[in-house]
Amino acid sequence: MKVADMMKPDGRVFLKSVFGQISNEWPCMSFSRPSVGEMLRQDFIPGRDVMIYVGTLNRELTENPDHRSRLIASVVIEPSQVLETRRIISREYWSEYGERWPLSMPVLSAAVMNGPPFPKAHDIIPDAYSRFGKVENRGGVVEAIDKEREAVRALNVVTLELHLSSDVQAYINIRTSLSETPRSIRQEATRMANLIIARVNSGGEERVVKNPLRTAPNLSDLFPMLTRKWQVDQHGLCALCGGVLVAATMNKMLQASADRIDSTNGSYDEKNVHVTHLACNLAKNKYGVGNFEEWLMALRGTSPSED
């Protein structure tokens, strides 16, 4: 198999300097600067692009001399999900190296280059490799283009089966189950997730808001949670009135809204959030659950006194 088999013909080849090979002990791409994650979130597309691991010349951290200044692996990452490295790698590796690179993106598929000897970076990607030396690229990602891109695509690799952590596997399972989600629902889930984050951040703190106190998972966790609740848990129905949830509507009353089940609990987590019509959410919060349910019964032509 070649690197080209892991990507689309028009895919991009990104390069990341690393201190070791992809493995079950470290089955993720790790970094220290949030800006690296933001760049990849915007530019890397799984299924189209690949990330090439390039071993550094640091003798202290790149302990295996066969890896130094060599192209050692080709991986496909999930850029929309940033996890804490300690949740993915082995405890032994975390205690020894992990705190240097606290952030990671899951690896969806991986292959190792044929070797040793592994391909020399100076021979395959001389221009791209030289860019790693620039201050702005240290610890970051560069791209192989033109002839260097084609040279990387032609390299032989061997597929590596990774045993992923439960956190990563759970995310991949959700991602797979939502792959056929209509675009309109994905857009609604993104809008609701962004609104939740805005509420949490409106008090000036990163994760917590005062008056009232609110907390939430990160954005990449909120999106699959809201989408799953809409499609799977609630079968496309409002959790309060039972009516059909409408995506991309111009009617604000019918607009989907992420509602906290227990309004006294400020957490927007899995157990305390469901998806409703905006009108139902506002009515419940303003007039209380009891009055809201009586109102629904009246609309349905059922007396509140009936069972």
Strands 103-113 and 157-160: antiparallel
Could you report the per-residue pLDDT of 244-265, keeping only the tens digit for each?
999 989 999 999 999 999 888 8
- Token digits of residue 233: 């848990």
Could you report the per-residue pLDDT of 79-127, keeping only the tens digit for each?
877 778 887 887 777 887 767 888 888 888 999 999 899 999 999 999 9
The mean pLDDT of 165-183, rounded to a whole number, is: 64
Please give the share of the chain, as a percent, with pLDDT higher than 70. Answer: 87
Contact residues for 85 (Cβ-Cβ < 8 A; gap 6+): 28, 30, 94, 98, 101, 102, 103, 104
pTM over 0.95: no
DSSP summary character for residue 234: S
Position 213 pLDDT exceeds 90: no
The mean pLDDT of 221-227, rounded to a whole number, is: 84
- Token digits of residue 3: 């690197």
Q: What is the pLDDT of residue 98?
A: 64
Q: How far apart are CA 81 and CA 61, in angstroms?
A: 26
| pLDDT band at residue 61 under the 50/70/90 scheme | confident
Could you report the per-residue pLDDT of 277-304, keeping only the tens digit for each?
999 999 999 998 889 988 888 888 776 5
The mean pLDDT of 173-179, rounded to a whole number, is: 57
Task: Read off φ and ψ for residue 155, nearest 5 degrees.
Answer: -70, 145
Helix ranges, the chain (H): 34-43, 91-96, 121-124, 126-131, 146-153, 166-177, 183-201, 219-228, 278-287, 289-299
H or E stretch at 47: none
Q: What is the pLDDT of residue 111?
A: 96
Please give the share of the chain, as a percent, with pLDDT higher than 90. Answer: 43
DSSP summary character for residue 125: -
Q: How far apart are CA 250 and CA 246, in angstroms?
A: 10
Q: How far apart are CA 99 and CA 85, in angstroms?
A: 8
Residue-averaged pLDDT of the chain? 85
What domains appear along the chain, each with residue ranges and CATH number?
3-171 (3.10.590.10), 179-299 (3.30.40)
Pick the range with the lowest mean pLDDT from 147-161, 200-214, 239-253: 200-214
Q: How far apart are CA 188 and CA 249, in angstroms?
A: 10
The mean pLDDT of 152-161, rounded to a whole number, is: 95
Report the DSSP beta bridge partners of residue 29.
Answer: 105
Q: What is the pLDDT of residue 139?
A: 77
235, 82, 190, 213 alpha-carbon torsion, rounded to 10°: 90
Strands 83-84 and 103-113: antiparallel
